[in-house]
Amino acid sequence: MERKNAWEAYTKEEMEELESLNQDYLHFLNQGKTERECVTEIVKQAEDHGYKNLKEIQKDGKKIQIGDKVYVVGMKKIVALFQIGKQPIEQGMQILGAHIDSPRLDVKQNPLFENSDFAYLDTHYYGGIKKYQWVTLPLAIHGVVVKKDGSVIEICIGEKEEDPVFCITDLLIHLSQQQMEKKANKVIEGEDLNLLIGSRPLASEEKEKVQAGVLELLKQQYDIEEEDFLSAELEIVPAGKAREAGIDRSMIMAYGQDDRVCAFTSLVAMLETEEVERTACCLLVDKEEIGSVGATGMRSRFFENAVAEILDAMDQYNELTLRRTLANSKMLSSDVSAAFDPTYASAFEKKNAAFFGRGLVFNKFTGARGKSGSNDANAEYMAFLRKVMEDANVYYQTAELGKVDLGGGGTIAYILSLYGMEVIDSGVAVLNMHAPWEITSKADVYEAKKGYVAFLKCK
């Protein structure tokens, strides 16, 4: 049952394809460090490949038909791409799903304060993080500030070479005797995640002079007032670019690979696949890291509504056709898997762990403690996928998140399964999951994309 390492068998052509795909992946990671930035980049790439905004088609009173490529965006944070297949759509679609939100620190609504001649932004972390990993790193601010008149100011500070960066401080080791005795989840507490943003007081009579200086700069450079933080979405992420890792350059080290590694590979597979039999769909969602909530999370009706609009644009909408289209669909719900880490081997069960270089990972079930919250895919569906992957010479492996009683995690798979479609958790193995810098294998990126293409081509 041991799976082979894909690196050992690559031809020269495959290595070239692999490297070129991973260069594109680095670019994607650098363009999209927030869900909004990802949607902008995804729409740009989709339009370059002939996809059209469904809303524009509808506005022109036009219809869609076999071969047409369209996309639907919700609130700039969730996106679905469709390519209409030759088969009647009510026989189901082939859906690739992944999420584009990542763990980070969000700026609070009333964030700015001054203490001891330092100005800070107060934050609330988003998703599951080891808080102690987010201190003493260069950090960047990405996001939007929306003014009362509706104008949107885009913010990105800390990514350009000449930009300033930000930081959350930690206590020096010399004085950490008590801190070092604390449990890891208490070493840095949530309310101590204060982003240091300034230290130069204004030469004025004002009370909080450093804060006043920061506000003056925000006004000059961005036309933002302190009250405008009330209608802002500012995300604090590690500053800096995605990099190749290892002397053999076999890996990628970057922020936000959970789950942009699956979003990117799903997107590329969708964009390069033409003339599909079954309608192809690529669904990239927000809010997975906080339970798929909100209007842009998987639990919203966004996707169901988008499919209803597709049917309507094909003159086929009725409730039963919508139900059949969804129920007859098949989905690869992709999210990162925990890569086996020999340094922490005791957390894994080696027979059922995901390894770097062994390809696309299928998790029949995820969940925590007794499969709780798991989608638990059907054996029949897993058998179907084994054949699809093997016929296309895709390296794949099966895995669980870790040892049975140690923890667990959820994905979006169970939400799609509510429609009665076949869904399985799949994806790419990652080291340091949810840390500021996560690591993946270039071979797994390559095999995932190959696997997704094979899936979209199914009859």
Please report, as ranges, the residues that interact with Mn ion according to CB under 5 A. Answer: 258-259, 335
Shortest spacing between CB 263 and Mn ion, in angstroms: 10
* CB distance 443 to 18 below 8 Å: yes
Smallest distance, Å, CB 205 to Mn ion? 48
Interacting residues of 342 by C-beta distance below 8 A, sequence separation 6+: none
- Non-local CB neighbours of 211 within 8 Å, separated by 6+ positions: 112, 113, 114, 119, 198
Adjacent-strand bridge partners of 152:
146
Using DSSP bridges, classify how beta strands 337-338 and 429-430 pair: parallel, antiparallel or unpaired: parallel
List the one residue out of 324, 210, 245 whose CA is nearest residue 26.
245
**138 within 8 A of 239, measured Cβ to Cβ:** yes
Distance CA 382, CA 413 (A): 14
Q: How far is the CB of 101 from Mn ion (least distance, A)?
A: 9
Question: Least CB distance from residue 325 to Mn ion, whole Å?
Answer: 26
Would you say how long the chain is, in residues? 459
Tokens 């990239």 map to which residue? 284
User: What burial letters (b/e) apply to 292-308, b meaning 16+ CB within 10 Å?
Assistant: bebebbbbbebbeebbb
Instruction: Tell me the closest approach of the beta carbon of residue 102 to Mn ion, in angstroms.
Output: 7
Q: Which of 92/436 has CB closer to Mn ion?
A: 436
Minimum Å gap between C-beta 255 and Mn ion is 13
**Residue with Cβ nearer Mn ion (363 or 417):** 363
Closer residue to Mn ion, CB minimum distance, 99 or 457: 99
Q: How far apart are CA 441 and CA 183, in angstroms?
A: 32
Which DSSP state fits 48? Answer: H
Cα 452 from chain centre:
17
Tell the smallest beta-carbon distance from residue 354 to Mn ion (Å): 14
For Mn ion, the closer CB: 257 or 279: 257
To Mn ion, the closest distance from the beta carbon of 338 in angstroms equals 10
φ/ψ bin of 4: left (φ > 0), alpha (ψ from -120 to 50), beta (otherwise): beta
> Could you tell me which residues come within 8 angstroms of residue 151 by beta carbon, excluding any fewer than 6 positions away?
none
Alpha carbon distance 162, 148 (integer Å): 31
Q: How far is the CB of 295 from Mn ion (least distance, A)?
A: 19
- Closer Cβ to Mn ion, 37 or 309, answer by number: 37
Minimum distance of Mn ion from residue 34's CB (angstroms) = 15
Residue 449, classed as helix, strand or coil, is helix
Residue with tokens 């930035």: 37
Q: Give the nearer residue to Mn ion in terms of CB position, either 69 or 287.
A: 287
- Specify the residue, 236 or 338, whose C-beta has the smaller distance to Mn ion: 338
* The token pair that represents 238 in the structure block: 């590690």
Please say which residue, 85 or 410, places its beta carbon nearer to Mn ion: 410
- β-pairing verdict for 104-115 and 232-238: antiparallel
Which is nearer to Mn ion, 104 or 142 (by Cβ)?
Answer: 104
190 neighbors 122 (Cβ within 8 angstroms): no
* CB-nearer residue toward Mn ion: 90 or 335: 335
